[in-house]
Chain A
């Protein structure tokens, strides 16, 4: 049997077994393991657990806020990588400090910062709020959730250092970063599974997507070890895509489906289509990502191997990747229609987070299909499109992953912290800067890459000045993303202290995550509010930015 199919059969079998165990419990062992896990999550931390209060929602809040800071860091690293692609000696002065900045290394660092810093922290943070909400219980351990967030941040810092210098004092830095990262991932998974075990409520589909996102990555690693594909190039490629499909795609699908319904006030468009996303995510090969599985190979300390693709691997790989278009289309359509409800207009379009989710859902299909072309080209050995793999991966990060996770985080944070962002206007401005900068900047870079690829194929030796100019313009425009990240960060942090308070609790059902309050961000009609499912008792909460003129602060009361 070939590597792809044998590994996938093990992956599918382990996933189904895990699902059955989660649904039915562990019988008499369940109570023992539950007690032991709770002990490991809190008491085993010793004095560390006393450092935090463990208030409700604090876990989600601290993960999301740290994710915002990583968003800024990843945008800056990507910008510098784009700049160095057209001006390789721009940072030559840093060589005096022994640092030789290379575009490829900066991109590598930016991917760690974006995927594990920003996207990863948004996914986990949002999940820590969404899953307990859907299960109608409190998170098993808020203290553990808060403490592990800082360890995760440390692991991302180690990974970024490792991306610049693989070995320091003979130690494999990326492997150390991965070990710390996995430790936290295990703690978060245990925390979430314990939360699930504490509830008797039926878990809605987005919740299952979040759970499969968490348990899918370790299952993928175990599967590749059992199948023996860990020392083959094709095994590395498959592992990379399984990790992308589970932790990233499945989790993102879960949190964005929940947030689309929660933010718009509309019922989830289709439970069946959401179910298609789950099945499609687990039983196909997601094409999104780079063609080179370097990141997975480095993180797991494997030795890189040349990819040798058998005919059977090629056929099965290409077929299962083509099938991945189904969950991608299902997710995109479910989010887009849920956001719109009964008409063609997005409900509550100016509420922070809604534009991001709408934008990310639009980008899913074109970039999913684009990634499919690049991957099948690579798998078939044609390698005509390998030159644009990096930019396509950057586009999927900045135009799908970050908008969808950031949008979900912006939706979840008010419920977790009890306050809205300081200004909805600033959040909207930040959205335009972030998404506009990413779209225009990366499309110009893509055009430049395609031009260079065409010239290279035509054996033209002189570089194109037009391509160089496009690359320059692309990097400068991408700076809007850095600014957008700064605006979002300051807006969200200030909102934690001075934002409008969230006054009502949410009412949940299996398919509708509608709040009993309707945050009004722009002028709208009563018909449109009623169309969202609001009833006569729904509270309309204006969340406009105040336009009142400022006044001097009174230091004391003057007697007249």
Chain B
């Protein structure tokens, strides 16, 4: 097939009202989380959700509560704020 032909197909397949990437990622995230919860409940009925120390045994006795997932998220957020301040101030 010629290059011109594939270009036209590309234009034909291009949607006119693409959702923004952030919404796509958000929906994928929510759907993945729900699927994970459902499958986990089927595979391990009645069991608590895994925590960091059950995924990474080297953190046994340290990160043995679900709160650490959230605290790690908050720490990433803190670094995101710090990173934004530093990079925005020094960007060309």
- In the complex, the answer to whether A87 meets B81 with C-beta atoms within 8 Å is no
- Chain A residues within 8 Å of B78, by CB: 72
Contact present for A497 and B88 (CB under 8 Å): yes
Q: Are the C-beta atoms of B67 and A93 separated by less than 8 Å?
A: no
Q: Which of B5-13, B37-45, B69-77 contacts the other chain? A: B69-77
Q: Is the CB of B65 within 8 A of A482?
A: no
Which interface class (under 10, 10 to 19, 20 to 34, 35 or more) fits B? 20 to 34
Q: Residues of A within 8 Å of B, CB-based: how many? A: 26
Complex alpha-carbon distance, A501 and B59, angstroms: 48
User: In the complex where A72-B77, A79-B70, A479-B70 touch, is A494 in contact with B65 (Cβ < 8 A)?
Assistant: no
The verdict on B58 contacting chain A, using a C-beta distance below 8 Å, is no
Give complex CA distance A485, B62 in Å: 27
Q: Which residues of B contact A79 (CB under 8 A)?
A: 70, 74
Inter-subunit contact A494/B88 (CB<8 Å): yes
Please name all residues of chain A whose beta carbon is closer than 8 Å to the beta carbon of B77 when the two chains form the complex.
72, 482-483, 485-486
**Chain B residues whose C-beta falls within 8 Å of the C-beta of A483 in the assembled complex:** 73, 77
Residues of B within 8 A of A425 (CB): 20
CB–CB B64/A93 < 8 A: yes
Whole-angstrom CA separation of A498 from B91 in the bound complex: 10
Residues of B within 8 A of A547 (CB): 20
A76-B74, A483-B77, A486-B77 are known contacts. Are A497 and B91 too (CB-CB below 8 A)? yes
Which A residues touch B73, using CB under 8 A? 479, 482-483
**Closest chain A residue to B71 by CB distance?**
A80
| A93 adjacent to B81 (CB under 8 Å) | no
Interface presence of B80 (CB below 8 A): yes
User: In the complex, A476→B85 CA distance in Å?
Assistant: 28
Q: Mark B50-92, 1 if CB is under 8 A from A, else 0.
A: 0000000000011111110011011001101100110011010
Chain A: CB-nearest residue to B78: A72
Are A486 and B80 in contact, CB atoms less than 8 angstroms apart?
yes
Interface centre among B67, B71, B80 (most CB of A within 10 A): B67
Identify the interface centre among A80, A93, A482, A498: most chain B CB within 10 Å of its CB: A93
Closest to A498 in B: B88
In the assembled complex, the CB of B60 is this many whole angstroms from the nearest CB of chain A, namely: 10
From residue 449 to 499 of chain A, which have CB atoms closer than 8 A to chain B?
Answer: 476, 479, 482-483, 485-486, 489-490, 493-494, 496-498
B residues near A80, Cβ cutoff 8 Å: 67, 71
Contacts of B70 in A (CB 8 A): 79, 83, 476, 479, 482
Chain B residues near A90: list those with CB within 8 A: 65-67
Contact present for B81 and A489 (CB under 8 Å): yes
The residue in chain B whose Cβ has the minimal distance to the Cβ of A497 is B88
> Which chain A residues border B20 with CB–CB below 8 Å?
425, 547
Name the one of A72, A91, A476 contacting B65, with C-beta atoms under 8 angstroms.
Answer: A91
Could you tell me the distance in whole angstroms from the C-beta of A479 to the nearest C-beta in chain B?
A: 6
- On whether A497 and B89 interact (CB within 8 A), knowing A486-B80, A490-B80, A547-B20, the answer reads yes
- How far apart are the CA atoms of A283 and B74 in the complex, in Å? 42
Looking at the complex, which one of A482, A485, A489 makes contact with B84 (CB distance below 8 Å)? A489
Q: Which residues of A contact B63 (CB under 8 A)?
A: 93
Q: How far is the CA of A281 from the CA of B35 in the complex (A)?
A: 52
Q: Is A69 in the interface zone, CB < 8 Å from B?
A: yes
Contact A494 B74 (CB under 8 A): no
- Cα–Cα distance between A485 and B81 once the two chains are bound (Å): 10
Told that A89-B65, A479-B73, A482-B70 touch, could you supply 15 new A-B pairs with CB distance under 8 A? A72-B74, A80-B71, A87-B65, A90-B65, A93-B61, A93-B64, A482-B74, A489-B84, A490-B84, A493-B85, A494-B84, A497-B88, A497-B89, A498-B88, A547-B20
Chain B interface residues toward A at CB < 8 A: 20, 61-67, 70-71, 73-74, 77-78, 80-81, 84-85, 88-89, 91
| In the A-B complex, the 8 residue pairs with the closest CB atoms | A486-B77, A90-B65, A497-B88, A90-B67, A93-B62, A490-B84, A76-B74, A489-B81
A interface residues (Cβ-Cβ under 8 A, vs B): 69, 72, 76, 79-80, 83, 87, 89-91, 93, 425, 476, 479, 482-483, 485-486, 489-490, 493-494, 496-498, 547
